[in-house]
Structure 1
């Protein structure tokens, strides 16, 4: 389980920065991940950082999950469309992955 919430936001930012440094192409959340507006901002910032480096960063969130609802409610789909995917609770690394990175 990963935290994309205010209580773990510093660790979240560090993890996202490391994934970007490794060339991640996808950030995938699972239904077990905590997610709030702080996490949404961190993800949006990671997308912007990737774009500034000439790369795309895709966001995948569990279909029907709270993270996807919040992302859309904040209007962030206009900035970066989050792809709804089946819940990936079993994903290695707490649901946060970058391309082939476990």
Structure 2
């Protein structure tokens, strides 16, 4: 067997293993023009969509108060009465508190 065939088989095995791991962990990576996205369906935040919340950030003393509208693997969308819609990077969120 030549080197090119061995590399092709190795790459195919690696892709098969990655697909199996993604299915087990319920993560779907979609490659679109070289970019990878995580499908966060089933995220913990899904059950809180439409509820009032307070988002505390690592870099600010204050907090963002509003209604949780959407969330994905990178951003959280909050509709606030004063500043309108705000997109918050998930890496900057310290915690989210929901009203009872």
TM range (shorter): under 0.3
Compare the two structures and name the one with the higher strand fraction. Answer: 2
Compare the two structures and name the one with the higher helix fraction. Answer: 1
Structure with the larger RCO, 1 or 2 (CA within 8 Å, 6+ apart): 1
Report the TM-score, using the length of structure 1 for normalisation: 0.26
Report the TM-score, using the length of structure 2 for normalisation: 0.27
Higher gyration radius (CA): 2
